[in-house]
Amino acid sequence: MDLMTRDAVDELLQTYSETGGINYLDAAATLPSRLAIEAACADLMSLMFPGFRSEALVSSEDLAKTTRTRIRNLQARLKNEFCRSLGKIPPDETTEKRADEILRCFTAELPRVRKMLWKDIDAAYEGDPAAQSYEEIILAYPALEAIAIQRMAHELYLKQLPLIPRIMTEWAHSRTGIDIHPGAKIGSHFFIDHGTGVVIGETCEIGSRVKLYHGVTLGARSFQKDEHGKIKKGGKRHPKVEDDVTIYPNSTVLGGKTVIGARSTIGGNVFLVQSVPPDSLVYYEEKQLRIVPKKPRRTTEQRDGFTG
């Protein structure tokens, strides 16, 4: 190893001691495996929609046995990661008990989540004239994957499990372009059309039968700071969107006190930092669109001076 390389290694090691950011694999407290959580997300999607994830198809007679096997394998995969997330590998008695409790509660919620997802599929089918079948939505609509993972991650978020819910939603984010924080509260029949660029913050509350288009942001308006100038964590920072609201592409709604009233429609490219009453239509009144005939193009002969 040459001198320049040795110096670079020494400086790199110094940053480790100064700033941290190391996951010691042989230490008592380690971080959950991102790869394991991502694999678990794929397994969860297979549980929600058997046969749609390129896994081996099963007959109806074998479905019960296959599902039980999938649940057991998923629990075995997740328990170790839950213990890592809770800070103990190998786990002590308290950590293992807590991991088992979260895992049991999470598994018990999966049937309810699947029923909720079927309502989301209903919303997609009824809300998109291009949707030809439920199968198309399950196979091809990125919003369904993002919503499904967020709904499952939300259950773990409610149990105050560190790290893993965010890893789950970031897996979906990287695949779909839709960024939904696991803390967001989302009602039934939720549909995101197209979806790319949608951002939904942690403390956002979304009612039932809400439809968003691509590029919509439901974000924070500002961040409170403490006496040292550091951002305060927690608090209601993101808007509330009531039932039956539609928000069109590239609109931004900000602020923890901002409420979009029920049955309102927010037009495209709107920037909102204030509440909107129920049954409102919000849009920018711009100059009237003009459509006029184009000037006839000159032919090559005319440009060259030949008129025939």
Q: Where are the domains of the chain?
A: 23-177, 184-308
Inter-helix orientation angle 93-127/34-48, to 10°: 50
Single-letter amino acid code for the residue at 149: I
Q: What is the pLDDT of residue 289?
A: 67
Q: What is the pLDDT of residue 300?
A: 62
The sheet that has 191-193: what strands, in order across it? 191-193, 211-213, 246-247, 265-266, 281-282
Q: Among 51-55, 172-176, 253-257, where is mean pLDDT lowest?
A: 51-55
Rg, Å, the chain Cα set: 25
Q: What one-character-per-residue DSSP string does 60-89 give?
A: TTTHHHHHHHHHHHHHHHHHHHHHHHHT-S
Alpha helices in the chain (DSSP H): 3-19, 34-48, 63-86, 93-127, 134-140, 142-158, 164-176, 300-303
206: three-class secondary structure by DSSP: strand
Q: Is the dihedral of CA 188, 199, 178, 72 positive or negative?
A: negative
Q: Is it true that 23-177 and 184-308 share their CATH fold?
A: no
240-245: list long-range contacts, CB under 8 Å, 24+ apart: 240/204, 240/205, 240/206, 241/204, 241/205, 241/206, 241/207, 241/210, 242/207, 242/278, 243/187, 243/207, 243/208, 243/209, 243/210, 244/207, 244/208, 244/209, 244/210, 245/207, 245/210, 245/211
CATH number of the domain located at residue range(s) 23-177 in this protein:
1.10.3130.10
Place 90 in a pLDDT band, splitting at 50, 70 and 90: confident
- Render the burial of 202-216: b for 16+ CB within 10 Å, e for the rest: bbbbbbbbbbbbbbb
* Gap between the Cα atoms of 154 and 200, Å rounded: 13
Retrieve residue 143's tokens: 């919003």
* Candidate CATH numbers 3.30.43.10, 2.160.10.10, 3.30.950.10, 3.30.300.30; the one for domain 184-308: 2.160.10.10
Place 28 in a pLDDT band, splitting at 50, 70 and 90: very low
Q: What is the pLDDT of residue 218?
A: 98
Q: Among 124-138, 197-211, 230-244, 246-260, where is mean pLDDT lowest?
A: 230-244
